[in-house]
Amino acid sequence: MDGPKPPNPERLKDSATQDLSARVGARVRRARQMRGIPRRVLSESSGVSPRYLAQLEAGEGNISIGVLHRVALALDYKAEWLIGEDDPWDSDALQMTELFRQASDEVKSSVMRVLRPQPDEDARAHRVCLIGLRGAGKSTLGPMLGAALELPFVELTALIEEMAGMPLSEVMAFYGQEGYRNLEAQALDRVISAHDRMVLAVAGGIVSEPSTYTALLNRFHTVWLRASPMEHMERVRAQGDERPMAGNPKAMEQLKCILASREALYGRADAQLDTSGRTPEVSLKELQHLVDEHGFVAEK
């Protein structure tokens, strides 16, 4: 006797798609109504036609990720809130987001101070880390600062090469970006475990990895070394590396874009030092003064 027939995969897929379309449509409609935005206005701000929006809200639209993203932006919502199975309007997170969005700047600042407390100073010990884009002076000033403060100096990229047993270029080629970031996180954990007192220099891109950068900020007193885009480029070329400019007429424009995109991340450092137009000796004196002024390595 034949048993029950297994469900048709295509029918299940169609049903899941219909459920998703209906869920997204209902949430777009509810979000628009809560915002008090007419469909015509939402169409103009999102660049999605009124006809498509009507189909979308009715659960009949052929959902495109790109279109859904534009609609979510126009509604000031996250696209995932419109897609997820759990109703976001039943969650405390969305209510908090709404209240925060409507709050004054003073209230927002107070909330952020509570939600983002300063790291425990004991956790930072007497560790100083220099961050910034390549060419800012980390590799030059790091050893000089370490010698002046009688602290060991470590360059994280050198430790990564030691751990991997190969040059950095081969690390990237062999492990890829993700593998390199994993090694970077492991190397950071190693220096934290090995040193309570030290000066560290890290690669400029470490700020793009949230968990690693958060660990760095929590366990080190950080100083952002910055310079003008031209000085960044000239210092790299002075080291004998012509790759940034080789066959790339837009190299300077790309460098400026990188600096602009990372400015907010680098700005999370405890202090900043502009090394533009300064000799290493002058920058070192200013860096020492900054470290002393903030008490980064002072005994408690």
Instruction: Tell me the C-alpha distance between 261 and 263, whole Å.
Output: 6
Q: Do 27 and 80 lie in a common domain?
A: yes
For 255-274, write each residue's pLDDT tens digit: 788 888 888 899 999 999 99
Give the DSSP per-residue string, 7-29.
PPHHHHHHHHHHHHHHHHHHHHH
Residues 45 and 135 in one domain: no
For residue 3, pLDDT over 60 is answered with no
At 218 the pLDDT is 94
Q: What is the pLDDT of residue 65?
A: 63
Report the pLDDT value the prediction gives residue 162, as an integer from 0 to 100. Answer: 93
DSSP single-letter state for residue 40:
H
Considering the domain architecture, whether residues 259 and 165 belong to the same structural domain is answered as yes
Q: Which of 89-98, 130-139, 227-236, 246-255 has the lowest mean pLDDT?
A: 89-98
* Mean pLDDT over each residue of the chain, to the nearest integer: 80
Q: How far apart are CA 209 and CA 11, in angstroms?
A: 41
pLDDT of residue 13: 47
Same domain, 66 and 129: no
Boundary-marking domain end, from 27, 59, 84: 84
Residues 144 and 22 grouped into a single domain = no
Q: Are 155 and 204 a contacting pair, CB within 8 Å?
A: no
Residue 282 pLDDT = 96
Rounded Cα gap, residues 184 and 99, in angstroms: 38
282 shares its domain with 136:
yes
Q: Which of 25-39, 91-105, 151-165, 230-244 has the lowest mean pLDDT?
A: 91-105
Least confident of 24-38, 73-87, 177-191, 277-291: 73-87
pLDDT at 147 over 90: yes
- Last residue of some domain: 34, 61, 84? 84
Among 52-56, 189-193, 242-246, 253-257, the least confident range? 242-246
CATH classification at residue 278: 3.40.50.300
Q: Are residues 260 and 159 in the same domain?
A: yes
The most confident of the ranges 28-32, 155-159, 295-299 is 155-159
State the pLDDT at residue 121: 62
* Final residue of a structural domain among 84, 112, 147: 84
Is 105 domain-assigned?
A: no
Asked if the structure places residue 199 within a domain, the reply is yes
- In this prediction, residue 12 carries a pLDDT of 46
Q: Is the pLDDT of residue 122 over 80?
A: no
Residue 111 forms part of a structural domain: no
Q: Hey, is 54 helix, strand or coil?
A: helix
Asked whether residue 226 is domain-assigned, the answer is: yes
Question: Could you tell me if 55 and 128 lie in one domain?
Answer: no
∠ CA 52-53-55 to the nearest 5 degrees? 65
Strand partners, 274: 226
In a domain, 219, yes or no: yes
The pLDDT value given to residue 289: 96
Q: How do the residues of the chain divide into helix, strand and coil, expressed in percent and rounded to 5?
A: 65, 10, 30
Same domain, 79 and 196: no
Please give the full DSSP string across 167-236, using - where no structure is assigned.
-HHHHHHHHHHHHHHHHHHHHHHHHHHH-SEEEEE--GGGGGSHHHHHHHHHHSEEEEEE--HHHHHHHH
pLDDT above 90 as % of the chain: 35
CATH number, domain with residue 42: 1.10.260.40
pTM score, whole prediction: 0.60
Query: Does residue 215 fall inside a structural domain?
Result: yes
Assigned domain for 153 exists: yes
Query: How many distinct structural domains can be found in the chain?
Result: 2
| pLDDT attached to residue 39 | 84
> Are residues 76 and 167 both part of a single domain?
no
Domain span at residue 241 reads 122-294
Ranking 140-144, 229-233, 243-247 by mean pLDDT, the lowest is 243-247
Looking at residue 244, what is its pLDDT? 47
Q: Are residues 20 and 160 in the same domain?
A: no
Query: Average of pLDDT values for 159-176?
Result: 89
Q: Given this model, what pLDDT does residue 95 score?
A: 64
The confidence band for 224, taking pLDDT boundaries of 50, 70 and 90, is very high
**Is 102 inside any structural domain?**
no
Tell me, yes or no, whether 130 and 276 share the same domain.
yes
